[in-house]
Amino acid sequence: MTQISRFTGEIVPIAQVVTGDGDESAAPQGGGGFADYALVSLHCLRIYLDTSYRMTIDLLKEMPQITGEIGLDTADLPSPS
């Protein structure tokens, strides 16, 4: 397990508790966006990686295990443009 995977595994449950989104899907069908905990997790990961949002999304497209820990598929990730 990598440091990024460990970090993600720790931050997602915390984000779910803080946002109250424990049972919500990370990318609700027809919701047009992400659950709050997924956004918080992505933001924390961006800070942890010390990268821009665009670079974080690019990196996550190459890391399906990490996006899966958040509850997303790589296809769910937005275009960084």
Tell me whether residue 59 is in a domain.
yes
Tell me whether residue 81 is in a domain.
no
pTM, full prediction: 0.84
Tell me whether residue 33 is in a domain.
yes
Distances in Å between the Cα of 37 and the Cα atoms of 4, 29, 81 are 17, 16, 22
**Kindly report the CA angle at 14 between 9 and 15, in degrees rounded to 5?**
100
Tell me whether residue 56 is in a domain.
yes
What percentage of the chain carries pLDDT values higher than 90?
53
**Digit-coded pLDDT (tens) for 37-74:** 888 999 999 999 999 999 999 999 999 999 999 988 88
Residue 32 has pLDDT above 70, yes or no: no
Q: What residues contact 54, with CB distance under 8 A and at least 6 apart?
A: 80, 81
Residue 30 has pLDDT above 70, yes or no: no
Report how many domains make up the chain: 1
Residue 3 has pLDDT above 90, yes or no: yes
Q: State how far the Cα of 54 lies from the Cα of 29, in Å rounded to an integer.
A: 24
CB 2 within 8 A of CB 9: no
